[in-house]
Amino acid sequence: MRLAIFFFLLLLGLESSSSAASDISGKVFFDGAAPESVKLDMKMDPACAKLYSGPVFSEEALVSSAGGLKNVFVYVKEGLEGRSFPAAETPVVLNQEGCRYSPRVFGIQTGQILELTNRDATIHNVRATAKEQNSFNLGMPMKQMKMTRQFEKQEVMVPFKCDVHPWMRAYAGVLDHPFFAVTDESGAFTLRGLPAGDYTLEAWHEKFGTRPLKVTVTEGAETPAAEFRFSAS
């Protein structure tokens, strides 16, 4: 009998928590002609150059044929004050592969482990230039070398750079909550499990800056799709 009551309460709890949370899906668009990608010159390291048979272009601004903008960091900027969220236990992996960072833009929670991996047969250094916390510069001279780091404070964004190969750039959005996403090739994103409330979202792009958006998540109701628009000006 006690066990039945326990499971009943547990189900009730799960039901109430799922109805109180909502997903926000949306898209990020770039208005106007897509900017031309810059051709990268990898000759300065033959180990990088030989990985590609054709030209390699910068991933700074990637716009789909339908105008979707890739690599935009979308996150809850305001509305979660006073709440705490435990850091995810799964590490975020930042690969150095093909003499590029993968992913180029990512989110990470404060206290969550960032795993840096060198998958290239050449030397890399990983320099994170933070403003709110200690910056670091790590040498990763060997293939398959791994290192880990953590961030202690929120910071949007922390730029990463390889000074050996100046075209290698990445950006981390460090937040003390898990409500963030990065747009895919079509510019789509989803923020999952956001509790009911009024929020200010922000979309950040490395070249085009930021765009804010106010949204309201209502318990039991579907949240309308969010849309951000960037332009070159």
* Residues forming the site for other proteins (CB under 8 A): 38-41, 44-48, 58, 122-123, 125, 127, 129, 135, 137-139, 141, 163-169
Least separation in angstroms between CB 140 and other proteins = 9
Of 77 and 169, CB closest to other proteins: 169
Least separation in angstroms between CB 126 and other proteins = 9
Of 149 and 229, CB closest to other proteins: 149
Of 39 and 214, CB closest to other proteins: 39
Q: Give the CA count within 13 Å in the CB-facing half-sphere of 199.
A: 23
Least separation in angstroms between CB 36 and other proteins = 9
- Among the listed residues 90, 88, 83, 70, the one whose alpha carbon sits nearest the alpha carbon of residue 28: 70
Of 8 and 52, CB closest to other proteins: 52
Asked whether 207 and 231 are in contact (CB, 8 A), the reply is no
Q: CB atoms < 10 A from the CB of 49, how many?
A: 14
Least separation in angstroms between CB 45 and other proteins = 4
End-to-end C-alpha distance for the chain, whole angstroms: 67
Q: DSSP string covering 189-210, please?
A: EEEEEEESEEEEEEEEETTTEE
